[in-house]
Amino acid sequence: MDMTGLLEFLQRGGPALWLIAVLSVVTLALILWKTWRLLRSGAWAGQATARAVDLWQAGRRDEAVATLEGRRGLRARLAGAAMRNRRSGRLPEPAAREETTREAKAILGEARSGLRALELIATIAPLVGLLGTVLGMIDAFQALQESGNRADPAILAGGIWEALLTTAAGMAVAIPASIALSWFESVIDRAQADMEDAATRIFTAPDLAEPGDTA
């Protein structure tokens, strides 16, 4: 479809179809942006964190901390925070756990940024499409009433299918938005489960002496 055909298609659907077109562009931008953000935050990478936690449980605390240095992944950031809070000694263990939980909430809140916008689009796009259809049907039946006995069924049918364009367009935007939202949530939920497991393993590890420590 060329630009002229696209403009003609949008004009047939009226203001509702224009709004849905804007929502489609925003949806695509959000999906691409969110995918990039999750890639940057290491949402699919957890090998370094798992290795660091294993080192921590083995009592090799310095190596565990060094393994996570400079890493910005979701799991690595949380595991690093848990290790710092456990080792610092400035907080009793319950307070250290609470501080780690606070940092975990901040990390997950950052990971979930943008999801509410996708959820909103998935909800309102079909409603905007339905509103456009209802308004189009009203116009079609008003035209039928005004034509009286001279009503042309072909004109009525044309008005109805044009009105239905907005419903189809709204669903076409809402479906990929819902799929992307579910996918992003599953990725973040998996990362959250791994973060909780890492923090639990760090705080339940026995206090073993570091290599080189004297009894």
* 109 touches 21 (CB < 8 A): no
How confident is the prediction along the chain (215 residues), in pLDDT tens digits per residue? 555 655 665 566 678 888 898 999 999 999 999 999 999 888 888 888 999 999 998 888 889 889 988 888 899 999 999 998 888 777 788 888 999 999 999 999 999 999 999 999 999 999 998 888 888 777 777 766 766 666 566 656 656 767 788 888 999 999 999 999 999 999 999 999 999 999 999 998 887 544 444 43
Burial (CB count within 10 angstroms: exposed 0-12, middle 13-18, buried 19+), residue 108: middle
Q: Which residues fall within 8 angstroms of residue 179, CB to CB, at 6 or more apart? A: none
Q: Is residue 212 part of a domain?
A: no
Q: Is residue 181 part of a domain?
A: yes
Range of the domain at 54: 9-204
- Which two structure tokens, joined as six digits, stand for 188? 């973040």
Q: Is residue 1 part of a domain?
A: no
Q: How far is CA 31 from CA 20, 24, 93, 178, 206, in A?
A: 16, 11, 40, 11, 43
Kindly write down the DSSP assignment for every residue of 139-166, as one continuous string.
HHHHHHHHHGGG--HHHHHHHHHHHHHH
Question: Based on C-alpha coordinates, what's the Rg of the chain?
Answer: 28
Return the ∠ at Cα 104 (arms to 205 and 120), rounded to 5°. 150
For the question of whether the overall pTM of this predicted structure is more than 0.85, the answer is no
* 69 touches 49 (CB < 8 A): no
Q: Is residue 214 part of a domain?
A: no
When divided into structural domains, the chain yields a total of 1
- Which two structure tokens, joined as six digits, stand for 130? 């339905």
Query: From CA 91, how far away is CA 74, in angstroms rounded?
Result: 23
